[in-house]
Amino acid sequence: MASPKHEWQNPLKSQEALSRISSTKARKARSRERVAERKRERESQRCCAALPQVMMLQTSLHKPSIKDKDRMTKAQFISNNRGIDGGKDLPQEYLEALYDIVLKSPFSLQEDEDARVRAESQAARSAAQKGELFLREAWKLVAKAEETMASEGEARVSLRGADVRQLARTLFEATCWPMLASLSVVLETQEEPECIELCITGFQQCIRTAARMHMDVERDAIVSSLAKFTYLTTLKEMRQKNIECIRVLMAIGISEGNNLGSSWQYVLHCISQLERLQLLRTRALQDFQFFASRDKGGAATPGDGRINGTARHRSYGT
């Protein structure tokens, strides 16, 4: 059995060593805090001293009324900031980097930025100007998303998984009407085969998406728009693109028949008109002519649309 001296001596030595280590770490931590505090104070004083010149630089570089030749240069900015760091000059690399930051990323409030974007959007007239504004806003969204993803490790955000089908349905509800308008206008005005093929494919894919997701309103609207481009019910001149619309409408009836619902009326009407044109071309009799009403005497006459057996066989070429 160990003596009381040895029983208590080793734990006490270990505790004393831990106390020394803890006190040493605490002193180092306090020293680091003091250094960091002084550094923050110097940085704060430096920023306060350079703030007026930075604001002047912001105005000089980004105010539209100032001509390019009158804007502040990098050398002028460095010269204006001499002796502001407690009588000393700031590092030239620091000032040059600050100048580049202000030049590339102007300081502005969010409401001012939104007002500027609205004004540019209203002033844009040509398709090129509108496309440039669209690309600019798209890149801003991408940059904002990258910043959010980069800061995800610093601040944990609770994320929830979304049903892919429901998400696709929501996105299609928001985009189907602009897509329908764009496809209709391009298909109506363009005659290039490539444009026509893309538009007809767009119609086909939109109908397939709406039908499979049971979006009745969107499906009926798109199918009816495609049916109008068949020109089967109008007196307009039928072109190749109208024939392609007929083919696509028939193909949709075959591939998406189980999901068309009330949109079948447009497909069936198209089939009926095609049959009527076929009968007119072959000079065959239409269905109603086989069930024409009899005259007052009960006898069938060729003039009232009824035919005898010989004429009926002749109409089918037999």
Model confidence pLDDT, tens digit, residues 44-82:
666 777 777 778 877 888 777 888 788 888 888 888 878
Asked if 244 contacts 203 with a C-beta cutoff of 8 angstroms, the reply is: no
**Residues 311, 169 share a domain:** yes
Dihedral (CA of 131, 133, 99, 73) sign? positive
pLDDT(202) > 90? yes
Regarding predicted confidence, which is higher, 132 or 153? 132
Q: Among 84, 104, 124, where does a domain finish?
A: 104
Instruction: Tell me if 92 is assigned to some domain.
Output: yes
Q: How confident is the model at residue 94 (pLDDT cuts 50, 70, 90)?
A: confident
Q: What is the pLDDT of residue 287?
A: 64
Q: Among 72, 104, 136, where does a domain finish?
A: 104
**Residues 285, 182 share a domain:** yes
Contacts 24+ apart (CB under 8 A), 308-316: 312/285, 315/283, 315/284, 315/285, 316/284
Q: What is the pLDDT of residue 3?
A: 47
**Residues 169, 68 share a domain:** no
Q: What is the pLDDT of residues 297-311, one digit of tens each?
A: 444 444 444 444 434
Instruction: Tell me if 216 is assigned to some domain.
Output: yes
Q: How confident is the model at residue 132 (pLDDT cuts 50, 70, 90)?
A: confident
Instruction: Tell me if 54 is assigned to some domain.
Output: yes
Counted domains in the chain:
2
Alpha-carbon distances of 317 from 30, 121, 276, rounded to whole Å: 108, 67, 17
Alpha-carbon distances of 64 from 57, 106, 163, 171, rounded to whole Å: 13, 13, 48, 39
C-alpha span between 95 and 76 (Å, rounded): 11
**Residues 87, 201 share a domain:** no
Instruction: Tell me if 273 is assigned to some domain.
Output: yes
Instruction: Tell me if 120 is assigned to some domain.
Output: no
Q: Among 60, 85, 104, where does a domain finish?
A: 104
Contacts 24+ apart (CB under 8 A), 189-197: 191/239, 191/241, 196/240, 196/241, 196/244, 197/244
pLDDT(13) > 50? no
Instruction: Tell me if 128 is assigned to some domain.
Output: no
Biggest alpha carbon–alpha carbon distance for the chain:
140
**Residues 307, 209 share a domain:** yes
**Residues 180, 77 share a domain:** no
**Residues 170, 94 share a domain:** no
**Residues 174, 96 share a domain:** no
Instruction: Tell me if 5 is assigned to some domain.
Output: no
**Residues 178, 100 share a domain:** no
Instruction: Tell me if 119 is assigned to some domain.
Output: no
Asked if 252 contacts 267 with a C-beta cutoff of 8 angstroms, the reply is: yes
C-alpha span between 292 and 304 (Å, rounded): 7
**Residues 278, 169 share a domain:** yes
Q: What is the pLDDT of residue 44?
A: 66
Residue 80 belongs to domain spanning: 21-104
C-alpha span between 183 and 198 (Å, rounded): 9
Q: What is the pLDDT of residue 31?
A: 60
List the CATH number of the domain containing 88. Answer: 1.10.1000.11
**Residues 175, 58 share a domain:** no
**Residues 170, 100 share a domain:** no
Regarding predicted confidence, which is higher, 131 or 195? 195
Q: What is the pLDDT of residue 7?
A: 43
